Amino acid sequence: MSDLFKKRIESELKNLHAKNLFRKTHAFNKSLLNLTSNDYFLLRQNKKVLAFAYEVAQKYGTGSGASPLLSGYHPCHQALINKLLAWKNKNFGMLFNSGFMANQAIVKTLPGKNDLILADKLIHHSIVQALNRSVVKFKRYNHIDLSHLEELLSFNINRYDTIFVFTESIFSMEGDYPDLKKLVQLKKKYPFILILDEAHGTGVMGKSGAGLAEETDTINDIDIIIGTFGKSLAGMGAYVLTNLLPAIEYLTNKAGEYIYSTFLPPFQAGVAMATIDIIRNADDKRKALKTTSFWLRNTLSKYIDVQTHYNTPIIPIIMGDSASTLNLQSLFLSKGIIVGAVRPPTVPPDSSRIRLSLNSELTKEKLEPLISIIKEHS
């Protein structure tokens, strides 16, 4: 190893330690109360899911064996796409190995040199990174501030060939969401391509769990839906759905994230197919999750500043500085509770937070220790 290289990275790591921004992985005991998982319906160990995924793997193998444009695209992948299209009411779709790759592919591939991207300021890092490394022009509008978005649209609508607007449904660090109905109204006034990342909305929102677009009855107005299998669907991988066939064909031919990687394992396609069937018929669990989320938000608001007008399972407790965030995380862990300590650059400076992520099996009794700690700490 080069001495200069070693010194440089050691210096940068030392700086991260000094700022309380150093991160590392942990293998936690399963007996702890886990309030960090995005598996909102605890389907990762569901026996029906495991059995069906094993059946698919028995038929097609443990891995896909190649990239999708060679021989890695199997009938199980097409069956999964068909199931997604029927669920999300779109005509065409494709799969990716992760949501990160899907977002990167869309940002780096679809916009042209005379196009503009308008993205929410708190959009996921996968999109932010792609924007910063892309040659495409972009601007950021204030978080879920559609008035600011309209200002940007009004000013830029005749200056570019095409404008793309990127937003998440449920924002992964905030637990809030945009007014999709108003966003769709803007789309009718200022023609743009609307791209919605339903990573955290899928499963949690909508009568059949198809997401925020289903819940707000705007699904037919969304041009491109991105989603992941790594949250409610309890596996890994991602999808892009649209009614624009040329968009899928263009990504298939141009997106390196799709072309140059061994494709999604059949086992994971099986997991997704099985969990979709369960989630589409899990309205009782969906309602229970919303009820618990709403109750916990309102209970916590007696002691700390927490948003109470949302009922999503992501609840941020803003601490501000990284040191106090880590201290509170350690306190929770000492009491048998795993919580996320989210710090910059994942969130903006001075907005470090404890991130709670709930699931449908949590009860008020299970959450009482959490509330007691918050009450004592406030």
If you ran DSSP here, which 8-state letter would residue 286 be given? H
Share of the chain above pLDDT 90, in %: 95
Q: How do 352-357 and 238-242 pair as beta strands?
A: unpaired
Beta bridge partners of 315: 356
Confidence check: pLDDT of 256 > 90: yes
80-139 residue pLDDT tens: 999 999 999 999 999 999 999 999 999 999 999 999 999 999 999 999 999 998 888 999
pTM: 0.95
Question: What confidence tens digit (pLDDT) does each residue in 266-311 have?
Answer: 999 999 999 999 999 999 999 999 999 999 999 999 999 998 889 9
DSSP state, residue 255: -
CB 48 within 8 Å of CB 278 = yes
Supply the DSSP symbol for 218.
Answer: -
The whole-number pLDDT of residue 377 equals: 84
Give me the domains of the chain, ranges plus CATH numbers.
Answer: 24-41+283-377 (3.90.1150.10), 47-280 (3.40.640.10)
